[in-house]
A and B are shown apart, each in its own frame.
Chain A
Amino acid sequence: MLETTLFYIFSFVAIVSAILVITQRNVVHSAIFLAATLLAVAGIFLTLHAEFLAGVQVIVYVGGILVLFVFVIMLIALNRTEVERQFNRQWTLAAITAAVLVAEFAYVIFRGKETFPLPSATAAAPAIAVTGNSQLVGVSLYTNYLLPFEIASILLLVAIVGAVVLSKKKTAED
């Protein structure tokens, strides 16, 4: 019961701050709400007994990536972004489309209630708490998921090379 309540609280915080991230005009505010989202997700990991993932989430995303964001915001000109209009003026159209979509989904789910029973709220009990989940993550990364783990290194390399290629200064060669 407590876990369910916590889950709903964390999810609510995560979703609301995620919406605020994209609607705030001030970039610094966006960054702070992003931190709130990421921390709330870390909270969800905690309720699932994935303490290791929660720690990684806080250290890597909040501690690492977000700090970088803030640094970048500090280094670029902020004044312009506040003046610029962030959105196009199609709120009405978007709202109508979304409403129609919601109605459609609601109708389908309502009609299909008997044919397709909705998922019951039985969360799979985590049996992993015994071994300690940092060990579990490590073992599955280096045994079962060895191949994707190795390809992830290529992925990171591609991202680094790509960033350098696109952002390096124009040299005399160009």
Chain B
Amino acid sequence: MNIPPVNISSILPAAVLSIVGIAVMVAEPFVDRSKKTLLGWLALAGVMAAMLAIYPMSENRGQWYSNLWIVDDYNIFFHVIFLLIAGITILTSLDFLEREEINHPEFYSLLLFATAGMLMMSGANELIMVFIGLEVLSIATYVLAGFRRTDLKSNESALKYFLLGSFSSAFFLYGVALVFGATGSTNLIEIAEALRSSSLQITLVYLAAALMLIALCFKVAVAPFHIWTPDVYEGAPTPVTGFMSVGPKAAGFAVFIRVFMTAFPQIQDRWISIIWMVAALTMILGNVIAVSQTNIKRMLAYSSIAHAGYIAVAFASGSRRGVSAALFYMLAYALTNLGAFAVVTILSRSEDKLTNISDYAGLAAKRPGLAALLTIFLLSLAGIPGTAGFSGKFFIFRSSVESGLLSLTVIGVITTVVSFYYYLYIVVQMYMREPGEEFSDLRVPASLKIALLIAAIGTLYLGLLPTRVLDWSTTAALTALR
């Protein structure tokens, strides 16, 4: 019996997050009731420590733990995205939890565990690892969605997410079982090798890939598996909605790209056409339905569906450039959307009062700074030049044109134009309408200022100087496509 080497450095960021997550709960009884927010800062310190831990991890490239875990540029890129998401979410939550009187430090623990689950997903080289990472992420997120326990909408959000989410997890697991039945392995590289040999029960593999595709489409919320999104996003506490709209989505795509590009390249001509249809449907449905929304959280929910559609376009190009564009877009979208949700968090009151779009009328006159920031984020979501969203969409559509997906690109561009309407409508509300709501008693705590600053700088940086990050995402994409 040979015991495979244990290499802690290669999983250090996830290990740090898990330990800090436990430490937050252990420390809770010793912290005075009025100072519970300190534990949030502890969690934030944990995220920063995990960020630093990426460095020792990147020194240990290769496959570890009997090839279950892989450290490559792709994984490192996603580690950075996930930890940024976790950090900004904590910064957004610190004041929110206190204000809503749900300041239980378990919130931060669950957030850290969810992030650890995402880290596990991006580095998984094996389907069982993917599944366990996915479950850690999902279960923590179900609870976070229902964290306002006394609020019926929050309960509804958690219950809907839980029921449909566990159903989709079952789909994934069934797919894993079938792929194991057909190829005798759950390792992505071994599956690809088995597929190259001819004597294979290919029907089973098709079925398995289809089941996994359904499960992952659910997790990233693309049409026709997006129905749960608006209700779940609307009911969840606002910082959690921000987290859910970027974190699990990016993690889902990380797995999606890794599994299908590494394990199923042999049957790419089959699944790529499905992704094509999914992308087209998602962009159309997401953008068109977003137009008619009156609540900003629901509007951003549909907008997040639409953005998943754009990422699916990049994925459908099936090329290295496509994957690179998808990675870049996920980073750009994460920063922008978290920024937008941070502003929504600041403006909303308890029980989600003031989250209607009409409440934003005349905001610019009262709070010019917040209005300007929200404008930047909305313009970036729409894809106006100079913002991260524009660079992201540009790279995506360039890759899809290069791969010959002309009609998909046309659909993408047209739906982007549609999206201008509902993003700019809010800008119009803020700048050109008479103020209806008094925003005078509004305070913007330091934590939220930092969150907004990171998001805004990131949005503008990726919009004006995208090349460095794009080069990095291209390297990352290269390692994902062997």
Contacts and interface: CB of A to CB of B under 8 A. Distances in A.
Interface of A: 109, 112, 116-119, 124, 139, 142-148, 151-152, 154-155, 157-159, 161-162, 164-166, 170, 173-174
A148 B129 contact: yes
Contacts of B146: 166
B143 A139 contact: no
A166 B149 contact: yes
Q: How large is the interface on B (under 10, 10 to 19, 20 to 34, 35 or more residues)?
A: 35 or more
B201 interface: yes
Interface in B128-176: 128-129, 132-133, 135-136, 139-140, 142-143, 146-147, 149-150, 158
Given A112-B203, A145-B68, A162 B133 contact: no
B22 interface: yes
A146 B68 CA distance: 9
Given A146-B6, A147-B69, A155 B136 contact: yes
Contacts of A174: 101-102, 150
Contacts of B132: 148, 151-152, 155
B68 A161 contact: no
Contacts of B102: 174
B459 interface: no
Contact of B142 (A142, A144, A162): A162
B150 A118 contact: no
A41 to B, nearest CB: 13
A119 B201 contact: yes
Contacts of B66: 143-146
25 contacts: A112-B203, A116-B202, A116-B206, A118-B201, A119-B182, A124-B184, A143-B1, A143-B3, A144-B4, A145-B68, A146-B6, A147-B11, A148-B68, A151-B129, A151-B133, A154-B136, A158-B139, A159-B139, A162-B142, A165-B104, A165-B106, A165-B149, A166-B146, A174-B102, A174-B150
A154 B69 contact: no
Contact of A119 (B18, B110, B150, B203): B203
- For A119, A142, A148, the residue with the greatest tally of chain B CB atoms inside 10 Å of its CB is A148
A161 B11 contact: no
B136 A151 contact: yes
Contacts of B106: 161, 164-165
B65 interface: yes
A155 B135 contact: yes
Nearest to B143: A162
A155 B114 CA distance: 10
B120 A151 contact: yes
A159 B136 CA distance: 8
Contacts of A173: 33
A152 B135 CA distance: 9
B18 A154 contact: yes
Interface string B366-410: 000000000000000000000000000000000000000000000
B116 interface: yes
Given A139-B1, A158-B136, 20 more contacts: A116-B202, A142-B3, A144-B68, A145-B128, A147-B11, A148-B128, A151-B136, A152-B132, A154-B113, A154-B116, A154-B136, A158-B143, A161-B25, A161-B143, A165-B104, A166-B143, A166-B149, A170-B149, A174-B102, A174-B150
Interface of B: 1-4, 6, 11, 18, 22, 25, 33, 64-66, 68-69, 101-102, 104, 106, 109-110, 113-114, 116-117, 120, 128-129, 132-133, 135-136, 139-140, 142-143, 146-147, 149-150, 158, 182, 184, 201-204, 206
A145 B124 CA distance: 12
Contacts of B114: 158
A174 B151 CA distance: 12
A144 B65 CA distance: 7
Contacts of B69: 147
Contacts of A112: 203
A154 B135 CA distance: 10
Contacts of A124: 184
Contacts of A117: 201, 203
Nearest to B135: A155
Nearest to A140: B66
Contacts of B6: 146
A143 B206 CA distance: 31
Contacts of A142: 3
A91 B292 CA distance: 32
A157 B22 contact: yes
A79 B10 CA distance: 54
B109 A161 contact: yes
B203 A116 contact: yes
A96 B430 CA distance: 49
Contacts of B143: 158, 161-162, 165-166
A117 B204 CA distance: 10
A109 B149 CA distance: 48
Contacts of A147: 11, 64-65, 68-69, 129
